[in-house]
Structure formats: C-alpha cells, structure tokens
Amino acid sequence: MKLSVVILTSDEEKNISGCLKSVSFADEVIVIDDGSTDATVTIAQKMGARVYTRKLDDFASQRNYGLSVATGDWVLFVDADERVSKNLRNEIVFSV
C-alpha cells in the first residue's frame, strides 16, 4: 500500500522543513501552496516534495485538490506547523 502526505501551505518557510522531515517515510509528499511569497516552495522542492500552486478559495476545496493529485492508497493530511512523531510514524508504517 502506498502512503501520500498532503501539506497545505502559505508562507510557511519557518515550518516546512521540520514538517517534511517528519513525513519523509511516506511514498509521496505533496505540498499545495497558496502563492507563498517566502521560500516555502523552494524549500519543499529541494526536499523532494511535489509542489502545486493553487489559490486558496476555501479550506475544503484546497484539501480536496490535494486529495485529487495524491496517488496513494492512503492519504495523510498534515499542517506545516505539525510534526509526525516517531510513535505515529511507526503506527502508520506497520499498518499501511
């Protein structure tokens, strides 16, 4: 089974690196960016995330767009200021 992680961002350069490191176990990491004016997109791309730029119309539509471009059997949504703990990672890895 393939795991996709989707992260919605907007000017998250201070948070994105730590978030991406915490989900590095996923098969694919997707960032849906709302036109950041800082280094969010550059950092995400350098760390191997697939980045899509999409203007935020509403939160639900942004999440649904992320879901539509994800190719995994399972999709985990994480906010850029969140981190997946080692315990959660282990639960996911051994369940998926």
**CA of 53: how far to CAs of 1, 7, 56, 58, in Å?**
27, 12, 9, 14
Domain count, the chain: 1
**Distance (Å, whole) CA 11 – CA 13:** 6
Asked whether the predicted pLDDT for residue 96 surpasses 90, the reply is no
Q: What is the pTM of this model?
A: 0.94
Domain extent for 83: 3-95
Percent of the chain topping pLDDT 70 = 99
CATH code, domain carrying 54: 3.90.550.10
Q: Could you give the count of Cα atoms lying within 13 Å of 63 in the half-sphere of its Cβ?
A: 8
Asked whether the predicted pLDDT for residue 45 surpasses 90, the reply is yes
Asked whether the predicted pLDDT for residue 1 surpasses 90, the reply is no
**Tell me: the pLDDT tens digits for 31-44?**
999 999 999 999 99
